[in-house]
Structure 1
Amino acid sequence: MTTLQKAIRDFPASEVQAVISKLSVTPAMQADLQPVAFDLLRKTVADFNADEKRTEPLADADLEPLKLATQTKPDASDMGLLGWYYLKIKQPSVSAQWFKKALELKPDASNAKGLYLSLAAQNLEEEAYQVAATHLKDLTGDPEFLMNALSLRFAKPDTATIDEKIVASYSTTILQTLNADHAEILAWYAYNSKQYEAAAAWFGKSIDWKVAPARVKGLALSMMRLSQKQEFAALQEKYGDLYPEIWTEIKVAPAPKGKKAAAVIKPRGAIQANYFRNFQAKRYSACISDLSDLRARGQMTSNASLIGGWCYLGLSRLSEARASFAEAMTAGGQAQADAAYGTALTLLRGKLTDDAEAILRAYPMTTERDREVRAEIYVQRARSAFDQGQYQNTLDALNTRATLVAEPTDLSQLRGWSYYHLGNRGMAKQVFQRLNDHLNDTASRRGLVEASRVEGARQ
């Protein structure tokens, strides 16, 4: 059974089924192989769902055991599998039922997407939108999907009031994807609800990403409503010859009706929320992109510089990390302490051991951080001394480090070889013997053999 279960992952379903058929010669064997048969059925359905070339539906009788199993032992994965199957064979009303059942057991991105697509395929746009709105957190991992799912409400703002959480999520996904089309949709939503500053900001972003006449027109209208005459004139001078037809339309355009709507988050606010989310998710390049946008707008804060330092460090862009941490250190208080810690780690990453120790002396840190930085300082000093043949200095550094934290295997091996090169074969043998007793690896055995060989030759 174990072999067959492993084979399901690596071999075609038909080959595994042939083996099961040969083994199922008694009722007892059939019963024993039932779990494997179910796993095989799941793989068969999953393979069908994933193969774009396969369109002929599976036999209903083949699917019946999986359907019955969901009744006796409900499983969200099996329900979702059936949901994607029926969606692929263009039975969205059936797939929607399976996805709903799956979401009741386990809300997740896959089942939420499936239900949204099933409802959209039936032209149930409002119900589909509500699915996306209900599962914002589940869908944030796929900003493109979420953005497209939410956009319909913004393109048709008169349908119903939009919740502020939806606005915030839509703004964030637009900035994550740098999508000019959706930035324009949000800009028109803001303009038509008389939020002209937000409208101008989003029209500006959409033009930055991909210029188009409707976007220039929207920005010009927003400037006109804000009485920004100089900015309007500069915009017309820049795009007047490129889009001559829009300026006449602008002059006679009526003011928007201004129906009550949720406040639109301007790009600055969305970026400030987004760069930290990208940092937490370790999307360091996206984090830096957001911060570069803030810097270009003259909106950098000490906290933003601090986060920038960590993101640059995550990308191993050490000089830029040091510069960002240096900016944050000027703020004083906790930001300064955090930036000093980041600077010390950055210097250590660049093997600038003495500079890292100078930071440690200049900026007091918590006990935990101080221990962490000092431990790494002594690691680097030990390795540097060993490389230069200064074996006593290596041991001194390792001994000091051992008073702070436990010694890992690689450093114990360094200790053993330092004793060996200093002629202290007995201590070297003790170190390698202890390592070999615990690890029994090649490096420890080699050290033990060398130390023992010298000891044996002396005897």
Structure 2
Amino acid sequence: MRLASSAITVAALVLGFAAIAQQGGSGQSPAPAPAPNPTAPPARNALPQVDESALRYFASQGDTRRVNAEIARLRALYPNWNPPSDLSQLSSGGGQTPVDPIIDRLWELYREDKIADVRATIAERQSSDPNWQPPQELLIALESVEARRRLTNASDAGQWRTVLSVATETPALLTCANVDVMWRVAEAFAKTDQPNRARDVYTYLMTSCTNPGERLATLQKALEFLPTNQVTELLQHERKTGTEIDNFDSIREELARRRVEAASNDGKTTATPEDLAAVERLARGTEEAGPVLVLGWYNYHHGNPARALELFKTALDRKGGPKAAEGYAMSLRALERLVEAEAFAYEWREQAPENMKVYLDIATALLSQDPPPRLDARVVARIVPVVTGQRFPDGAQALGWYSYNTNQLQTARDWFRQALSWKPDDEPSAYGQALSTQRMNDRAGFNAIATQWRGRSERIADLADGTLRGQAAQPSLPATQQARTVEMTPAPRSVPAPVEEQPRVVVQRNTYQAEAAPMRETVVETRTTQGSAGGRRNCIMTRNAEGLSPDAALGLGWCLMEANRPLEAVNAFDQAVRRGSGRTREEAAYGKSLAYLRKNLTSEAAVAAAQAPQTGERRVELGASILTQRALAAYRDGRYTETLLALSERARLVPEQNDLMLIRGWSYFRMGRYDDARKVFKAVEKTGYSEEAAAGLNAILEVTSNVRQ
């Protein structure tokens, strides 16, 4: 072991800190200063004059650990010095001058770590004999112990720059004999934003120190303070041969777990099969919930909620607590099992803020289904106090739409008002209040709402102008609901009651109804029986596609599509895409695209379509479907230029159907391009859509007549 050169190397590393401290921790590394040598260097080939009194004393006491530590220290200070081959020479004095008994006493106190007593004894002896001097090695040893104590105390107190200053002043500490000191120096570098210097210290320990336990502990320390890639680099120093072989498997498993955990929070980052297998082994080899939770979140964020549900259930069984419950409830929601999700999330809602947020999110989604679900009165009764207690405007809005769609207009208006009291600028709630008030024939109330919101809501202005009278299409709720812990407030005076019959709102026709009609009538035609060989198959019980062959996964995907469970079908098709080849892979990519289109996930459908080559016919079919959905989405959002662009691109693939031509016409109308709109409506009129086309032409006539007047 080349302790001398190694000590000088790491000392030089630490001594560079002084310049860095003056620069405010900029991270720039000046040229390292040489390690100080407390004695003048001996002439070439001359033996150094070394005080071996400490070494002699520890040998006489049979203290092997102290002997080895002293040898390491002396080698670091005197590179040309070598210890006697026979340490018994030291214990007997080795023919050297007899040692003063006071020296033995001082070393004994030092050995007992009574540093204050050593200093007191030295002072006492010098007071009686001013010419007496203690051994230089003892003084150096005392300074080293005192420096180590100062460094340790500073480290424990989080005074990281003091740690580095002490290390700079006492480079003799920086050897494998003081591994704990080296760990603290590395931590100080990390805590002062110098990760590369921390890495250098850990590298020195891995290349110079031999104790297997300390080497493993060094990597464990590095895991805490270094990025994953730098810890991975340290693994190259693993000793695989010799008498002391390293076993760093636990470090590799932890690194794999961290990489999978990072990927579990980012659906765009995919973990390697090797890392996933390592975490699977960790999960099987322990009863702790941690590794299972990592796998659960990875599967959830990578589109496999069915597998995630299984893993979160295992984590719950292992007492994974609120985080496991959060994942379980979110997986149920992703699988569209909203009734189960609401009941489960309700039981965990008070355990953590995240659990309350998930419950409110699920309850809102449950109430917002179209058509409205048949909910037990107890379900609504337990949702209401949570929504009001949390003052959650999106939940109040959802209760409003649930009441509205079940024809409970007074209750609906109360809930929309409640939502607005918590979030005064919530336009969807104001729109719901306006619709409810209008349906109740409360003209004064409706006029008050219209006056307040006319300048902020085009929809409410249209209602007031009579252009959308009676139209009760429910707007989309906000995608993100944030739970808030605030004071309890009373619920609105009415609570939605269970309804046996749930009538849908009747849409009355009017001059402008045809403008909205295409949005209701246009559908993306997708075939869901591709690959079916024997009619409708039974896939009521969800199976995990991971263990299926590519062909079996493909069959499961089509079955789930027939059962109108597209998100589960995506997982099955994805398995067939990953593991299949040829025709199977092509069919799976096609099915995955259709599944995403079924859920209006246009971008995901486009990506899925590119995962495997498709026939020309299918490329056209998928391209037209994707562009149709993009046009519809843009039209719904009032992005009429994007609507026209998507329709024009679609028209290059397939002829434009009448309902999409109507959308084109109304887009021109909304943009004020009345001549273009008139041409489109007249073209539609010739195809037999005379009533819808006439509505558009009449609207153009009304607008242009008003302009001329």
Short-chain TM bin: 0.3 to 0.5
Higher helix share: 1
TM-score, with length taken from structure 1: 0.45
